[in-house]
Amino acid sequence: MAKPHRPIRSFVKREGRMSAAQTRALKELMPVYGVDCQSPIFMDELFGRDAPRYIEIGFGMGTSLIEMAETHPEHDYLGIEVHRPGVGSLLASLHDKGLTNLRVINDDAVKVLAEHIPADSMDGAMLFFPDPWQKKKHHKRRILQVPFIQSVMRCLKQGGVFHLATDWEDYAQQMLETLTATEGLVNSVNEGYASRGQRPMTKYERRGLRLGHEVHDLIFIKQS
């Protein structure tokens, strides 16, 4: 019997050593702010209200997500990250700031989007600075593939926004070409790249700019 096909993952777990604060936050705060992905997620129950909702896919250390949640208390945010040190850091900041409009998932975003986020439930999805997998032979590991885009679109409401950013030129071109060719998505600027808008500038982005990398934002809108 042939072995089942293993899906290509867009991440490798190289977490390194977790700090004591990150470890403590995961243990004590994940039960408070974390989301159990053993069943479908009901957003009204999760946040206790009906509000505009946004999901960040791969939030890293969580600084941008915290800033957005703090700046827009009228919005609800759901963050997905597979690496535990980043989840621990975000949980600690979330608790320190007393935010009530942010919840956290520590799991593979591809699986979560496909299986646990309700259809037509999100006003926006964000994918900022995903791993570019620089070598050409590794491009198949990039998260922005057609099945992933379809999962994002399923979760978005009509008129929902898919906002992406990268500082790798060839990845930006791939993103633009792939999203432009996707039926049901429309470029917010007709063609080409968008402005950063209200997206918080990240530590990763500042480092890239210092290295001379040009940052490209893409904003596409779901339309029937």
pLDDT in tens, 109-118: 999 999 999 9
* Set 44, 50, 123, 131: catalytic member: 131
Whether the Cβ atoms of residue 161 and residue 123 lie closer than 8 Å to each other: yes
What is the residue range of 165's domain?
49-222
Give this prediction's pTM: 0.89
In the annotation, is 131 catalytic? Answer: yes
Residue 43 lies in a domain: no
Residue 180 lies in a domain: yes
If one counts every other C-beta atom within 10 angstroms of the C-beta of residue 12, the result is 11
Residue 27 lies in a domain: no
Of 202 and 13, the structure prediction assigns the larger pLDDT to 202
Residue 210 lies in a domain: yes
Residue 5 lies in a domain: no
What pLDDT is stored for residue 62 in this prediction?
95
Residue 110 lies in a domain: yes
How would DSSP label each residue in 164-195?
Answer: EEES-HHHHHHHHHHHHTSTTEEETTSSSPBP
pLDDT digits (tens, 9 = 90+) for 81-94: 999 999 999 999 99
Specify the residue for token string 């926004």.
161
CATH no. for residue 66? Answer: 3.40.50.150
Residue 22 lies in a domain: no
Main-chain dihedrals φ then ψ at residue 70, nearest 5 degrees:
-75, -35
Looking at the 3D structure of the chain, how many domains does it have?
1
Residue 7 lies in a domain: no
